[in-house]
Amino acid sequence: MKKQMFLQYVTGGALAAVLSTTGSAAIAATASASATVIIPITITKAADLAFGKFAPGAGGTITVDTSGARTASGVVLSTVGSSPTAARFDVAGENNATYAITLTPPTDLVSGSDTMAFTGFSEVGSAATGATSGNATTGTLSGSGAQSIFIGGALTVASNQPAGSYAGTITCTVEYN
């Protein structure tokens, strides 16, 4: 046992000795620390969005749905050398995990100084159902840790749309919730 002596100034100018006894018995508690490292989420491009070949006709729209089917109004479609496809991104990560999706499509497809207005839409799943509107903002990976994001789009084509190869970039970002 440890003894300590303290001198204390008391009112009236007197010094008082205070004897303090401190014991050596300490009381402690413990906590566990833990961490779980999970599989990082990944995304890879599996297919590009392609509208195929067409002529402006009277002007109108051309749409490729999320399953890759192409339709048009006012635009003359060509089947020669055309292979329309929806874009597809494959997501992988922790089994049954949920994640957020941020889709950043271009506002226009561009060929030199010429443009066509672009509207994108998306869905998630193991297979596309042919959506033509809306955007998926969340997804849930399967029991094997996989899911796909399918992206379609619509182009607004002017009746005097200049010929050219038009392009733009679609960025898809995923993050665990």
Please name each of the domains of the chain with its CATH number: 42-176 (2.60.40)
| Tokens read off for 71 | 């339709």
Predicted pLDDT of residue 52: 95
Residue 2: band (very low, low, confident or very high) from pLDDT cuts 50, 70, 90: low
Report the distance separating Cα 64 and Cα 132, nearest Å. 8
Predicted pLDDT of residue 133: 96
Q: What is the per-residue pLDDT across 112-149, written as a single tens digit (0 to 9) for each? A: 999 999 999 999 999 999 999 999 999 999 999 999 99
Ranges of H-type helices in 49-176: none
- 156: number of Cβ within 10 Å: 16
Ranges of H-type helices in the chain: none
SS3 content of the chain, % helix, strand, coil (to 5): 0, 50, 50
The chain-wide mean pLDDT, for the chain, equals 90
Bigger pLDDT: 135 vs 16: 135
Asked if the model's pLDDT at residue 13 lies above 60, the reply is no
Bigger pLDDT: 89 vs 18: 89
- CA angle at residue 71 from 151 to 110, to 5 degrees? 60
Predicted pLDDT of residue 25: 87
| Tokens read off for 80 | 């020669």
The percent of residues in the chain predicted with pLDDT above 70, rounded, is 87
Q: For the chain, what is the radius of gyration of the CA atoms?
A: 33
Q: What is the per-residue pLDDT across 18-61, written as a single tens digit (0 to 9) for each? A: 445 556 789 999 999 999 999 999 999 999 999 999 999 999 99
